[in-house]
Chain A
Amino acid sequence: MYPTAARHFLTAQDSYSTEVDDLLLQAAALTTQPKDPLQDVDVTPLFGRDNHVYGDEIRHAVFERLCAAWCYLADRNEPHSLRAIDLLDRRRAGILRRFRQLGSRLKAGLAHRHSARDLRLRQRIDETERLIKSSGVAQMSELFDAWEKMRIRATPPWNFDPDAFAGDSSLMEDCRFDLEQLAQLENRLMSLANPACELPLQGVRSDRSRLEAALQRVHGSSS
């Protein structure tokens, strides 16, 4: 009976495959809305809004979970030490994205906390952000994200019907912006001069060519 049960046991229902920082964020979201920290300033749990002491406890608990998630990522994965080439690994790219988002969210909370440990954390966040920006990893990450968003759109920019441009003057502007993003990503990938970049480089070039061809078709039909 045990082997049969073991064969059919759905391991996905356990949380061992969930990332540790995600677990902490989920725990934080149980107590407040996981929305915009600048806008959602009221605590939502029962009694939390009107009972000041309880409300403060909730905020403190949420903040500590966010700190724990950030520290876990910083110390176990060191996303601030990543190189641009490392972003070809989707898992690491995802960690970097979550790390940066967490850092920004924490800065909003740290603005009103002034103990020595809060200042230390703030300094660490600033230092990691400086490293991520100065290494070019931040820009690379944003370009990869922009490319991915283009590809998963219901209608990627290179698939627009040329007739759609006639009644939509901003479409050309948006397509040119996408083209510029692709050109920048292509340049960044080329500058890495690493054989591992060959495959994504082919993908970016292919999409850029398709977008250029689509824009030329529009020019052709309008002239």
Chain B
Amino acid sequence: MMDELLNSVTQLRSDAQDLRRQARAETNAEKREQLFGEAVAEFKKAIGILERSLRLLRRQESAHSNDVCRVLEELSKSCGSLGGTWRDSGDLDQAIEQYDKGNSYEQERREHCGAQDTYNMLQRLIVRLLRDPARMVAPEFLAELQAVRQEIESQVKAGREDSWGLADMVLVRFLCDAEADADAAIANLDRRKADASFYESAYKAVAALVAEGLGKGSALGERLESFARFLQRKGGLA
């Protein structure tokens, strides 16, 4: 039953991601809005199914059984994808809401399921930077960035080595002004070849920061632009 549930959710998420991709490429504003709306509806449908399943499991199973952890994983990914869709459509408030929600599920996975994932944890900060680049010098914001950096680095020390984790590490090290450490992570990314969808997704996130003018005219801006070009080259993106 769990496999069937996860297959149907993966189908919804894939369809939603496809609609999101079409929306990004669409030049007609009305059609673009419609496609984003359809993508959001599909992601919400997936999240609704998962949240009902989570409640059902929690009424029947131990707090963090294997099945509960699998549903939590899908939930954090789906909320993250919905957050990214809102970000692409320009609605940063909705994006923040979804990344925060995704991070609360992700946090539960990190604490109770042994999960090595930081996507929402980092994106919730990045999307806040997109809305207000001045945060980059706010001490409390920098403290939050440092906490994300520590979390990613401890996960990598514990054996995490997926491309998403390395990309998160590069970004957070750039933002924490640790260029030399970021270079090591880029070299690791350069040695491997992930699926094209990874480069596309990571590129969009970095390009959004560049477009917003984050660190423009400073070393941070140059690093971000250089990282975006790297992702573009590795992914063969036009």
Residues of chain A at the chain B interface (Cβ within 8 Å): 36-39, 41-42, 49-50, 52, 55-56, 59, 97, 100-101, 104-105, 107-108, 111-112, 145, 149, 152-155, 164, 168, 170-171, 174, 177
CB pair A170 B55 closer than 8 Å: yes
> Which of B7, B55, B56, B192 sits near A101, CB closer than 8 Å?
B7
Evaluate contact between B162 and A104: CB separation under 8 angstroms. no
Report yes or no: B14 in contact with A107, Cβ–Cβ below 8 A.
yes
Name which residue of chain A comes closest to B51, CB basis: A170
Q: Known contacts A112-B200, A170-B55; decide if A155 and B60 are in contact (CB<8 Å).
A: yes
The 4 A-B residue pairs with the shortest CB-CB distance in the complex, in nearest-first order: A112-B196, A41-B198, A104-B14, A41-B195
- Name the distance in Å between A73's Cβ and chain B's nearest Cβ: 15
Report yes or no: B197 in contact with A42, Cβ–Cβ below 8 A: no
Interface contact A168-B59, CB-CB below 8 Å: yes
The answer to whether B197 touches A174 (Cβ under 8 A) is: no
In contact, B193 and A55 (Cβ under 8 angstroms): yes
Q: Beyond A59-B195, A112-B200, A164-B59, is A36–B52 a contact (Cβ under 8 Å)?
A: no
Contact yes or no, A42 B192, CB < 8 A: yes
In Å, the complex CA distance between A145 and B60 comes to: 21
- The CA of A112 and the CA of B5, in the complex, are separated in Å by 27
User: Which stretch from B15-23, B122-130, B149-157 is at the chain A interface?
Assistant: B15-23
Q: Which B residues are within 8 Å of any A CB, using their own CB?
A: 1, 4-5, 7-8, 10-15, 17-18, 21, 52, 55-56, 59-60, 77, 81, 162-164, 191-198, 200
State whether A42 and B10 are in contact (beta carbons under 8 Å apart), knowing that A111-B18, A112-B200, A168-B59 are contacts in the complex.
Answer: no
- B6 to chain A: closest residue by CB: A36
Closest to A48 in B: B193
Quote the shortest CB–CB distance from A90 to chain B (angstroms). Answer: 13
User: Chain A contacts of B15 at CB under 8 A?
Assistant: 104, 107
Shortest Cβ distance from A23 into chain B, in angstroms? 18
30 inter-chain pairs at a CB distance below 8 angstroms, sorted by A residue, are A36-B10, A36-B77, A38-B10, A38-B14, A38-B17, A38-B81, A41-B197, A50-B191, A55-B192, A100-B11, A101-B10, A104-B11, A104-B12, A104-B14, A104-B18, A105-B10, A107-B18, A108-B14, A108-B18, A111-B21, A111-B196, A111-B197, A111-B200, A112-B196, A112-B200, A145-B8, A152-B1, A155-B59, A174-B56, A177-B52
Contact A149 B5, CB 8 Å, known A38-B197, A49-B193, A50-B192:
yes
Closest to A112 in B: B196
- In the complex, how many angstroms separate the beta carbon of B18 from the nearest chain A beta carbon? 5
The answer to whether B60 touches A154 (Cβ under 8 A) is: yes
Other CB < 8 Å A-B pairs besides A42-B195, A50-B191, A177-B52, 12 of them? A37-B195, A38-B81, A42-B163, A42-B192, A50-B192, A52-B192, A55-B192, A105-B11, A107-B14, A108-B197, A111-B21, A164-B59
- Main SS of the interface on chain A? helix
CB-contact partner of B197 in A50, A100, A112, A171, under 8 A: A112
Distance between Cα atoms of A101 and B163 in the complex (Å): 25
Name the B residues within 8 Å of A41 (CB-CB).
162-164, 194-195, 197-198
A171–B192 alpha-carbon span in the complex (Å): 47
* A149→B196 CA distance, assembly (Å): 35
Complex Cα distance, B212 from A111, in Å, reads 26
B residues less than 8 Å from A39 (CB atoms): 77, 164
Pairwise interchain contact A108-B17, C-beta atoms closer than 8 A? yes
A155 contacts across to B, CB distance below 8 A: 59-60
In the complex, chain A residues whose CB is within 8 Å of the CB of B7: 101
A52 and B193 in contact, given A41-B164, A174-B56 (Cβ under 8 angstroms): yes
Cross-chain contact B192 with A49 (CB below 8 angstroms): yes
In the bound complex, what is the Cα–Cα distance between A101 and B18 (angstroms)? 13
Report chain B residues within 8 Å CB of A154. 60
- Chain A residues with Cβ below 8 Å from B162 are 41-42
Residues of B within 8 A of A149 (CB): 1, 4-5
Q: Which residues of B contact A36 (CB under 8 A)?
A: 10, 13, 77
Nearest B residue to A154, CB-CB: B60
* CB atoms of A101 and B52 under 8 A apart: no
